[in-house]
């Protein structure tokens, strides 16, 4: 966790002086001030709207399912440990996402893609994740391509069947 915080600090130092970077820093400072005040019910996003806890964090039930995998059958996970992991995982995802978004904005794109995430992992020092994630991304894309082809072939077959029955 300490390395993650150090990387986050280094990212803040590396950011350019662009308008997006200034907005990011402003948002982070506001967030840090809110963290210091301890009043989580009054958190706001960068646009002044209120953020509920369920909007800021991943669902706790999903995190618990993942956390239970290595825990023995009779083992238990403390509530504060679950909440701590929930916050850390959500912050980590936001950290990676903000770097990926920065890349897509720099390339004048509105959509963040898998390649943006891979570059973000690399830029933030998570190089050991890049290779397995790129393999997963490649397999995912191949799977989607084959699913799409099956769907198109199925709808083509249905069209042919309809044409054949109309001829008889």
In degrees rounded to 5, what are phi and psi of residue 49? -90, 150
Average pLDDT taken over every residue of the chain = 77
Token duo for residue 18: 């662009």
Categorize the per-residue pLDDT at 41 as very low, low, confident or very high, splitting at 50, 70 and 90. Answer: very low
Comparison of pLDDT for 14 and 69, the residue scoring more: 69
pLDDT of residue 159: 55
Percent of the chain with pLDDT over 90: 49
Q: What is the DSSP letter of 124?
A: T
In degrees rounded to 5, what are phi and psi of residue 125? 90, 15
Neighbours of 99 (CB within 10 A): 21
**Contact call for residues 57 and 90 (beta carbons, < 8 A):** yes
Distance linking the first and last C-alpha atoms of the chain: 70
Give 51-101 pLDDT, tens digit per residue: 676 678 889 999 999 999 999 999 999 999 999 999 999 999 999 999 999
pLDDT of residue 10: 54
């Amino acid at each position: 966790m300490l390395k993650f915080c150090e990387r986050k600090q280094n990212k803040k130092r590396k950011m350019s002086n662009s308008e997006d970077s200034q907005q990011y820093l402003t948002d982070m400072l506001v967030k840090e001030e809110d963290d210091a005040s301890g009043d989580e019910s009054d958190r706001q996003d960068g646009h002044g709207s209120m953020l509920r806890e369920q909007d800021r964090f991943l669902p706790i039930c999903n995190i618990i399912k993942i956390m239970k995998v290595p825990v023995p059958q009779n083992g238990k996970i403390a509530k504060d440990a679950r909440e701590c992991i929930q916050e850390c995982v959500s912050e980590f995802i936001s950290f990676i996402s903000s770097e990926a978004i920065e890349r897509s904005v720099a390339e004048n794109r509105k959509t963040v893609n898998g390649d943006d995430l891979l570059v973000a992992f690399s830029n933030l020092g998570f190089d050991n994740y890049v290779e397995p994630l790129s393999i997963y991304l490649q397999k995912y894309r191949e799977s989607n391509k084959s699913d799409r082809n099956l769907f198109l072939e199925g709808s083509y077959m249905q069209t042919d069947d309809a044409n054949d029955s109309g001829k008889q």
